[in-house]
Structure 1
Amino acid sequence: MKQAAAQGASTEKPAKQVALIIAGPTCSGKSALALAVAQRLGGTIINADSMQVYKELHVLTARPSAADEQLVPHQLYGVLPAADKGSVAWWRNQALTAMQAAWAQGRLPILCGGTGMYMRALTDGLAEIPDCGESARNEARTFVAEHGPEALHARLAEIDPEMAARLKPGDSQRISRAWEVWRGTGHSLAYWQAQPGLPPAPCSFVALRLLPPGQSYAPA
């Protein structure tokens, strides 16, 4: 027979940790809002922009200034040389580590950027896809550069109609990714996405999406 819970003991589950997402297009004011919120609430700003992880692209990607970085902690800005490839899986692992460190310090993790694949890797989880190899990646890049994404989309439709149907013909990044996965693994990206993968981050998210100038920000 089970003993009754001790009087006064709480049976409630501990509350989940919380993280804030501030997303939006380039020059929408994401960094300024993230900085203001971080100063007000005691936050750590974690980069969620695929270009701002590279050291050499400070000016081109409008990274936070050195003065801004002195005001509150900033993580994952300029941490990779341009010669390295920062994958979504790599960023997810780095972001989770930065989030855990922020919580341990009593700070609010603020994920700031415009790379939707990065955000979804945390909020929805991530399919584990084997490395496709440089040959497949270079083949996709070269074909798009020479013939355009629409032509590669047409070729993808011949070998992987399921993924081609999901993608817009002008979406060069996603079309190239679908092509390199098929060429590098022999399976459709849809196949890998259907397999059990990495789970969502163990926290609750509050998300804001900044809209173009003239419009206000809104829940994502």
Structure 2
Amino acid sequence: MSKSASPNAKPPKGRLALIAGPTASGKSDCAVELALALEKAGKQAVVINADSAQVYADLRILSARPTEDEMRGVPHRLFGVWDGAEACSAAEWADAAKREIENAHLAEMVPILVGGTGLYIRTLLDGIAPVPPIHEHVREAVRAMETADLYDAVQREDPEYARSLRPADRQRLARALEVVRSTGRSLLAWQRDEKAGGIGDSVQLAPLIILPEREWLYERCNQRFAWMMQHGAVHEVEKLLARELSADLPVMRAIGVPQIADYLRGATSREEAIAHGQQVTRQYAKRQYTWLRHQPPDHWPLKIPENISLPTDFEILFSD
């Protein structure tokens, strides 16, 4: 005789794959390959974007958003769904990702999260500190400041957090200053509080971090930016500039946009724009590489692409 379930039994955790890697690491191809392998095993899958540049509709080329051919018939979600005039925060993305993951589970599909934006991944899994809303007058005053003045102010008013920020990182500097001025507490203090809204404990996670050899990765970065310049990136930036969006918006600070904008304004040559774009791409990949090596839990597997075995590395997804 079969035993009935306990009325207090918890529902089974939904499965969630996570493929993370620096830019140009091949993580998107790996996600599609995993989805197709699951399909052969009789399980449907959906790929969900966790890259902060690929959310923007305006950055199809410069963010290396997957094309229809590269998607290979696998459904993709949260790619190109934000207009560049609206900044997509980590909390807003996490809310959208939760809905997509829930929809996938309701449809008995396996959600495959793919990206390299550590803040997005951390916010989704661990939640976010409950920072109160910023007073509007504080926000307006802070956003009107020059970047150098922002850095000086954060050094004075939140010196501990300032040590973790780059002097040119305007977005994070402004966020740090508006939080300490509006709440009287450092952003670090809020981040140390108990976080809310994470789904890490409610899913059965199958993570994989792709970390290629650095020299191979940097050469891929170089090749990819040069290819972008030949295949529409310049026109993409032309359209962005025509919109006259605020320079503080993430879409206007995305890798490649300032470098190509300088070229279009005549401040640099095409060759200089390519060299600068390649440089900032490599620097970004290096920061992602460092974060992915040191910040995720120790039990998350790190693999070079050649050593990935989908049925083995994602065994729990293939089991019944």
Which one of the candidate residues 69, 77, 80 is aligned to 1:78? 80
Structure 1 residue 199: Cα displacement: 3.0
Q: Is 2:133 the counterpart of 1:138?
A: no
Distance (whole Å) between structure 2 residues aligned to residue 57 and residue 199 of structure 1: 29
- TM-score (normalised: structure 2): 0.57
Deviates more, 1:128-137 or 1:198-207: 128-137
Question: CA, structure 1 residues 88+29, in 2 after alignment: closer, same or farther (shift >3 Å)?
Answer: same
The equivalent of 1:8 in structure 2 is 3
SS in 2 for 1:208: strand
Q: Percent identity?
A: 36
Q: Is the 8 A contact 1:39 1:71 kept in 2?
A: no
Distance (whole Å) between structure 2 residues aligned to residue 88 and residue 24 of structure 1: 18
Structure 1 gap segments, 5+ residues each: 1-5
Q: Is the 8 A contact 2:161 2:186 kept in 1?
A: yes
Q: Is the 8 A contact 1:156 1:179 kept in 2?
A: yes
The equivalent of 2:67 in structure 1 is 65
Structure 1 residue 139: Cα displacement: 4.2
Distance (whole Å) between structure 1 residues aligned to residue 204 and residue 13 of structure 2: 6
The equivalent of 1:205 in structure 2 is 205
Q: How many residues align?
A: 206
**Where do 1:44-63 residues align within 5 Å?**
44-63=46-65
Structure 1 residue 38: Cα displacement: 1.2
The equivalent of 2:98 in structure 1 is 96
The equivalent of 1:27 in structure 2 is 24
Structure 1 residue 191: Cα displacement: 3.1
The equivalent of 1:39 in structure 2 is 36
Structure 1 residue 130: Cα displacement: 3.5
CA RMSD of aligned residues (A): 2.8
Higher helix proportion (structure 1 or 2): 2
Distance (whole Å) between structure 2 residues aligned to residue 88 and residue 212 of structure 1: 26
Deviates more, 1:117-126 or 1:53-62: 117-126
Q: Is the 8 A contact 2:32 2:72 kept in 1?
A: no
Structure 1 residue 184: Cα displacement: 4.3
The equivalent of 2:228 in structure 1 is none
Q: Is the 8 A contact 2:157 2:177 kept in 1?
A: no
Q: Is 2:112 the counterpart of 1:110?
A: yes
Distance (whole Å) between structure 2 residues aligned to residue 117 and residue 136 of structure 1: 26
Question: CA, structure 1 residues 34+130, in 2 after alignment: closer, same or farther (shift >3 Å)?
Answer: same
- TM-score (normalised: structure 1): 0.80
